[in-house]
């Protein structure tokens, strides 16, 4: 059985008797010897706390677990690995996924025995209880705060700032909020408001408002904090529970004005939309290359019914200058780009693909050499040829080399990692596109493509799934 020995000390307890790296390692080696386990590698985190699992040595061990090099993870004590029951539960689940056992040398935590598995089951139940209990405590605390008229949000909404923990109006920004509500009452729509708010030539607006989007403006118009209320449960995690209470902060608009504006907002929201994107197969993956917003489909002209894709920010706020792009032009660009990708992959085959495979094999050989060098340094330590401090320095240097090499290997592996199915789809994409219906086109796009960024009527960039 191949064992991973994991040791850790944090800076504040490194000198404590019985917890030094050498003391932990000595105990773990003795335990492996008593069980006739083969020590595959030693993973050490020096000066690292147990607050989370993001530690270099632990992450290197996790990589070896995922590569199926290990059979069991051995620690001196459970708190050397983690002090968080949820982290422990997640760690054990990851081990189980790769058929790796877990054992504490000085405690009953042991997934190789019935009693140990019982304790792990208890840990899982405790982890679930802790998650639910924490959520309930947070919810109760937030509800209590709302009932006291306090706001639970982390950031002050635009127009306010925190002063001594209390919301207070923020000068020019507060005045701008009042102007927005006043103009909306006068009949200004959101598109007109956005053009005004994003007018870079207005010296009164530029220093305080920045760039406004449709979502930002809608959030402001629907936020009852400006009428003097505080709320809980407005977001998606509220499980249907919404609590609104009078706040103890100064409102920027009176309640009568707020109620009138919400009636106007509700009336506009209930109006049917005149356009949709359901019949546009590229929506969902298209992104504007100039502002980063999603792109939508839109038909122009009742008689001609010309179909376009356009930036959603240009459609809503007029703050983006990406031009409308005819659907057939964009389809042609994408078909050409995908054909180019296929031809590149097809041409990689002989010399290039072989070169990349050789490069990947070379990197794999270097990774194996790093493992051999680790073993030699550990052998030298066991024979008393080097001190523990020197061994840790050597192992840390090898760990840095391994992480850098794995980072270089990943893009090379991906470049030659197209499956046969994906290559066939790339090859026949143009034919499929011509014959498929809208729903089928969308399925093919979602299967092959993660995102398509449109920079102009002649330039697109495709990120494949």
| Cα 234 from Cα 160, distance rounded (Å) | 19
CB-count burial class (<10 Å; 0-12, 13-18, 19+) for 291: middle
Q: In the chain, which residues fall in CATH 3.90.1750.20?
A: 160-269
Average pLDDT, the chain: 79
Of the pLDDT bands very low, low, confident and very high (cuts 50, 70, 90), residue 270 is low
Q: Is residue 10 among the annotated active site residues?
A: yes
Q: Which residue in the block uniquely carries the two structure tokens 């495979």?
A: 357
For residues 404, 408, 411, 415, the Cα torsion angle rounded to the nearest 10 degrees is: -150
pLDDT one-digit tens code per residue, 353-373: 677 777 888 888 888 888 888
Q: In the chain, which residues fall in CATH 3.40.50.1390?
A: 2-131
Q: Which CATH number fits domain 160-269: 3.60.110.10, 3.90.1750.20, 3.30.360.10, 3.30.360.30?
A: 3.90.1750.20
| Cα 241 from Cα 406, distance rounded (Å) | 47
pLDDT one-digit tens code per residue, 147-180: 665 666 657 888 999 888 788 999 888 999 999 9
Please state the rounded mean pLDDT for residues 399-409: 84
| Cα 212 from Cα 318, distance rounded (Å) | 10
Class of domain 2-131: alpha beta
Q: Which residue in the block uniquely carries the two structure tokens 């809208």?
A: 438
Among candidate residues 118, 108, 39, the one with its CA nearest the CA of residue 71: 39
| Cα 248 from Cα 145, distance rounded (Å) | 11
Query: Judging by DSSP bridges, how do beta strands 101-104 and 72-75 pair with one another?
Result: parallel
Long-range contacts of 19-23 (CB under 8 A, 24+ apart): 21/46, 21/388, 21/392, 22/388
- Would the pLDDT of 127 be above 80? no
Q: Cβ(74)–Cβ(4) under 8 Å?
A: yes
What pLDDT score was predicted for residue 237?
46
Please, what sign has the CA dihedral across residues 357, 363, 365, 368?
negative
Among candidate residues 45, 7, 10, the one with its CA nearest the CA of residue 29: 7
| Cα 95 from Cα 73, distance rounded (Å) | 9
Q: Which of 46-55, 208-217, 305-314, 341-350 has the lowest mean pLDDT?
A: 341-350
Q: How many CB atoms lie within 10 A of CB 120?
A: 21
Of the pLDDT bands very low, low, confident and very high (cuts 50, 70, 90), residue 252 is very high
Q: Which of 10, 20, 430, 451 is catalytic?
A: 10
- Would the pLDDT of 78 be above 70? yes
Cα→Cα distances 51→121, 128, 185, 406, Å: 22, 18, 52, 26
pLDDT one-digit tens code per residue, 430-448: 777 778 888 888 887 877 7
| Cα 351 from Cα 339, distance rounded (Å) | 20
Cα→Cα distances 386→36, 153, 392, Å: 25, 56, 10
| Cα 164 from Cα 431, distance rounded (Å) | 65
Q: Cβ(449)–Cβ(283) under 8 Å?
A: no
List, in order, residues 6 or more apart from 440 with CB less than 8 Å away. Answer: 432
| Cα 446 from Cα 285, distance rounded (Å) | 8
- Would the pLDDT of 29 be above 70? yes
- Would the pLDDT of 18 be above 70? no
| Cα 298 from Cα 276, distance rounded (Å) | 7
110 DSSP assignment: B
Task: Give kind and range of the element (H or E) at residue 437.
Answer: none
What pLDDT score was predicted for residue 209?
57
């Amino acid at each position: 059985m191949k064992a991973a020995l994991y040791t850790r000390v944090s800076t504040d307890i490194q000198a404590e008797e019985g917890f030094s790296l050498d003391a932990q390692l000595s105990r773990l080696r003795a335990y492996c010897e008593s069980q006739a386990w083969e020590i595959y590698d030693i993973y050490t985190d020096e000066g690292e706390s147990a607050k989370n699992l993001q530690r270099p040595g632990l992450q290197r061990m996790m990589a070896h677990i995922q590569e199926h090099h290990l059979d069991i993870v051995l620690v001196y004590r459970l708190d050397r690995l983690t002090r968080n029951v949820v982290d422990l539960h997640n760690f054990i689940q990851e081990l189980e996924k790769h058929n790796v056992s877990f054992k504490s040398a000085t405690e009953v935590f042991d997934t190789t025995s019935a009693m140990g598995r019982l304790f792990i089951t208890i840990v899982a139940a405790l982890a679930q209880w802790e998650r639910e209990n924490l959520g309930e405590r947070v919810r109760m605390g937030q509800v209590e705060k709302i009932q006291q008229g306090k706001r639970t949000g982390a950031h002050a909404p635009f127009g306010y700032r925190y002063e001594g923990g209390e919301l207070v109006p923020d000068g020019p920004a507060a005045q701008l909020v009042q102007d927005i509500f006043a103009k909306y009452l006068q009949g200004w729509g959101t598109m007109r408001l956005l053009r005004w708010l994003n007018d870079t030539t207005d010296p009164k607006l530029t220093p305080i408002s920045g760039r406004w989007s449709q979502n930002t403006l809608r959030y402001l118009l629907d936020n009852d904090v400006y009428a003097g209320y505080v709320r809980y449960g407005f977001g998606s995690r509220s499980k249907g529970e919404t609590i609104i209470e009078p706040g103890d902060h100064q409102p920027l608009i009176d309640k009568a004005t707020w109620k009138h504006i919400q009636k106007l907002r509700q009336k506009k929201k209930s109006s049917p939309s005149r356009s949709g994107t359901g019949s546009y197969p590229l929506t969902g993956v298209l992104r504007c290359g100039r502002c980063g917003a999603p792109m939508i489909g839109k038909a122009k002209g009742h008689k001609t019914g010309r179909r376009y894709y356009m930036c959603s920010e240009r459609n809503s706020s007029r703050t983006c200058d990406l031009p409308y792009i005819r659907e057939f032009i964009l389809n042609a660009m994408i078909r050409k780009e995908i054909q180019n990708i296929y031809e590149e992959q097809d041409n990689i085959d002989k010399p290039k693909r072989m070169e990349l495979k050789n490069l990947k094999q070379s990197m794999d050989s270097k990774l194996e050499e790093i493992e051999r060098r680790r073993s030699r340094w550990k052998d030298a330590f066991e024979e008393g040829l080097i001190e523990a401090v020197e061994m840790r320095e050597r192992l840390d240097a090898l760990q840095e080399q391994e992480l850098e090499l794995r980072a270089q290997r990943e893009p090379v592996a991906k470049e030659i990692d197209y499956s046969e199915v994906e290559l066939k789809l790339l090859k026949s994409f143009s034919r499929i596109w011509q014959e498929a219906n809208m729903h089928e086109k969308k399925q093919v796009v979602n299967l092959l493509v993660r995102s398509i960024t449109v920079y102009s009527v002649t330039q697109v960039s495709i990120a494949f799934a």
